[in-house]
């Protein structure tokens, strides 16, 4: 990007603006493709050389993202996948899509976001637009990222460069709501940052929702995912309560769902997983601790959801006990280990906890997952086995941990000696 003053607005409108995406994962790669497909030159920058190699040879490493889209964008020269961070200096807009996981102590680890800021700083130019898409705590763009960039460059956010926050809402595997038709919330540190960021997104998606600040945008994302974590926690507790009352929780939920107002349906399961739902609320409660406030709903929902794997393993154990078999040495087949159906993402998957608990109790565990060929658990490694009627029939217990669409649930039911259905598949399919 040249130092001479660029009319960013015009460059965005006529698609001459170059976009750089930092982090080509579940969030960054679809975004990079969207820009390339709409005619922008997009630098996709990621330190993971294997990912860059895969992209440049037209391979997709995200299950629901077709390789043909990657091939076409690379071939057209509009997507430039690279691990060369100096390319950042050629971009008019830089979008940060790096991970925001929890560390070992279960506190937020925002080192990836800070590393990304530190890689932008030496290449930051006047007039550039920087947008944070990663999920971060409320206040981080204004309190930490802006000042960090200013400290290293002497350039002032809002005056010398534009800075905005726009949380990603993508739901991998969701065919109805995609990047294109999911409204995008955008909050800049001043009106021109909001306006330019909103203009950029309007080039690739249907609806943009401007808000008054980056902190409002950050908090919006955390409200959405905290809402899910808490409602899933509530319905999981209802499942435990119904179990004690010896009634079917799913029947209760379906009956409650017939109310045409004031009720929203959530289903119980093995707990929450993925990079968002169990993680994001902790970014909020962590920030609240620094303001001397305990986010009690978040703590409680996190606790209830985290105990669900144990609830289901205990169900399996007592059912086996009733058959005079016991869990120790029982052959247990776990079906589905990714954190939700039809994707290959294992992060924070509650199925991993189910596998660990079963192994710790001495069960002889096998698993099948069409998306996950192998799983590492502490010092152990399991490989996905083939799902056959004989294997199902030879298992003392089959646990459905994740309800992938491609499994033959009729066959499983017909062959299994004992089924523990943590996802309510049989209720839903009316089998």
Ligand X SMILES: NC(=O)c1ccc[n+]([C@@H]2O[C@H](COP(=O)([O-])OP(=O)(O)OC[C@H]3O[C@@H](n4cnc5c(N)ncnc54)[C@H](O)[C@@H]3O)[C@@H](O)[C@H]2O)c1
Q: How far apart are CA 429 and CA 431, in angstroms?
A: 5
Q: Which is nearer to ligand X, 281 or 424 (CB)?
A: 281
- Residue 399 CB neighbour total at 10 angstroms: 27
Using CB under 6 A as the binding rule, the residues of this chain from 262 to 301 that contact ligand X are 275-276
Q: Which is nearer to ligand X, 218 or 396 (CB)?
A: 218
Q: Which is nearer to ligand X, 26 or 35 (CB)?
A: 26
The least distance separating ligand X from the CB of residue 91, rounded to whole angstroms, comes to 13
Non-local CB neighbours of 413 within 8 Å, separated by 6+ positions: 419, 426, 431
Q: How far apart are CA 264 and CA 260, in angstroms?
A: 9
Cα Rg, the chain, nearest whole Å: 24
> Are the C-beta atoms of residues 418 and 323 closer than 8 Å to each other?
yes
Strand partners, 382: 375
- 27 is an interface residue for ligand X by CB under 6 A: yes
Total residues at interface with ligand X (CB under 6 A): 28
397 in catalytic set: no
Which residue from 91, 2, 11 is spatially nearest to 43, judged by alpha carbons? Answer: 91
The token duo for 96 is 């940060």
The least distance separating ligand X from the CB of residue 156, rounded to whole angstroms, comes to 24
- 349 is an interface residue for ligand X by CB under 6 A: no
Quick one: three-class SS letters along 145-207? HHHHHHHHHCCCECCCEEEEECCCCCCCCCCCCCCCCCCEEEEECCHHHHHHHHHHHHCCCCC
SS3 for 367? strand
> Are the C-beta atoms of residues 191 and 158 closer than 8 Å to each other?
no
The least distance separating ligand X from the CB of residue 367, rounded to whole angstroms, comes to 22
Which of these segments, 24-32, 306-314, 381-389, 408-416, binds ligand X (CB under 6 A)?
24-32
Instruction: Show the binding pattern over residues 81-100: x = contacts ligand X (CB under 6 A), - = does not.
Output: ----------------xxxx
Which of these segments, 66-74, 111-119, 328-336, 415-423, binds ligand X (CB under 6 A)?
111-119
> Are the C-beta atoms of residues 375 and 382 closer than 8 Å to each other?
yes
- Catalytic one among 42, 97, 276, 397? 276
Looking up tokens 């059912």 gives 319
Using CB under 6 A as the binding rule, the residues of this chain from 113 to 132 that contact ligand X are 115-116, 119
Strand partners, 102: 108
> Are the C-beta atoms of residues 1 and 18 closer than 8 Å to each other?
yes
The least distance separating ligand X from the CB of residue 286, rounded to whole angstroms, comes to 14
The least distance separating ligand X from the CB of residue 370, rounded to whole angstroms, comes to 20
The token duo for 24 is 């080509």
**Contact residue for ligand X among 8, 11, 17, 22 (CB under 6 A):** 22
- 217 is an interface residue for ligand X by CB under 6 A: no
Which of these segments, 110-118, 180-188, 192-200, 417-425, binds ligand X (CB under 6 A)?
110-118
- 33 is an interface residue for ligand X by CB under 6 A: no
Give the DSSP per-residue string, 25-62.
STTHHHHHHHHHHTT--EEEE-S-HHHHHHHHTT---S
Which of these segments, 19-27, 154-162, 319-327, 386-394, binds ligand X (CB under 6 A)?
19-27
- 402 is an interface residue for ligand X by CB under 6 A: no
The least distance separating ligand X from the CB of residue 54, rounded to whole angstroms, comes to 11
Q: Which is nearer to ligand X, 45 or 239 (CB)?
A: 45
Interaction site with ligand X (CB under 6 A):
22-28, 45-48, 51, 97-100, 112, 115-116, 119, 134-135, 168-170, 172, 275-276
Catalytic residues: 276
């Amino acid at each position: 990007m040249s130092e001479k003053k660029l009319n960013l607005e015009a460059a965005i409108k006529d698609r001459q603006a170059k976009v750089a995406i930092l982090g080509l994962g579940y969030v960054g790669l679809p975004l990079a493709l969207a820009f390339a497909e709409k005619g922008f030159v997009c630098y996709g920058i990621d330190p993971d050389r294997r990912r860059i190699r895969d992209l440049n040879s037209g391979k997709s490493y995200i299950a629901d993202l077709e390789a043909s889209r990657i091939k076409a964008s690379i071939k057209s020269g509009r997507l430039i996948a690279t691990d060369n961070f100096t390319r950042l200096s050629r971009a008019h807009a830089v979008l940060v899509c790096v991970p925001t996981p929890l560390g070992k102590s279960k506190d937020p680890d925002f080192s990836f976001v800070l590393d990304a800021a530190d890689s932008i700083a030496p290449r930051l130019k006047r007039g550039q637009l920087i947008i944070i898409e990663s999920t971060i705590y409320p206040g981080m763009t204004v309190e930490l990222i802006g000042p960090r960039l200013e400290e290293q460059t002497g350039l002032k956010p809002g005056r010398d460069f534009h800075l905005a926050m726009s949380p990603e809402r993508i739901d991998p595997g969701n065919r109805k709501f995609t990047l294109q038709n999911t409204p995008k919330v955008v909050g800049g540190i001043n009106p021109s940052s909001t306006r330019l960021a909103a203009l950029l997104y309007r080039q690739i998606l249907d609806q943009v929702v401007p808000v008054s600040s980056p902190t409002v945008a950050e908090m919006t994302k955390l409200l959405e995912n905290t809402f899910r974590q808490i409602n899933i926690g509530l319905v999981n507790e209802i499942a435990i309560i119904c179990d004690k009352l010896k009634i079917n929780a799913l029947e209760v939920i379906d009956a409650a769902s017939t109310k045409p107002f004031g009720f929203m349906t959530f289903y119980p399961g093995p707990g929450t997983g993925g990079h968002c739902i169990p993680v994001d609320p902790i970014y909020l409660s962590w920030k609240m601790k620094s303001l001397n406030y305990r986010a009690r709903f978040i703590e409680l929902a996190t606790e209830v959801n985290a105990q669900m794997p144990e609830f289901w393993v205990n169900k399996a154990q007592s059912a086996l006990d009733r058959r005079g078999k016991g869990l120790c040495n029982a052959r247990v087949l776990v079906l589905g280990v990714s954190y939700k159906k039809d994707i290959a993402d294992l992060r924070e998957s509650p199925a991993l906890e189910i596998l660990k608990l079963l192994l710790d109790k001495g069960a002889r565990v096998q698993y099948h997952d069409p998306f996950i060929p192998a799983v590492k658990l502490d010092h152990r490694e399991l490989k996905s086995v083939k799902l056959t009627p004989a294997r199902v029939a030879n298992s003392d217990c089959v646990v459905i941990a994740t309800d992938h669409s491609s499994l033959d649930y009729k066959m499983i039911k017909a062959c299994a000696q004992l089924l523990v259905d943590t996802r309510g598949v049989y209720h839903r399919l009316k089998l």
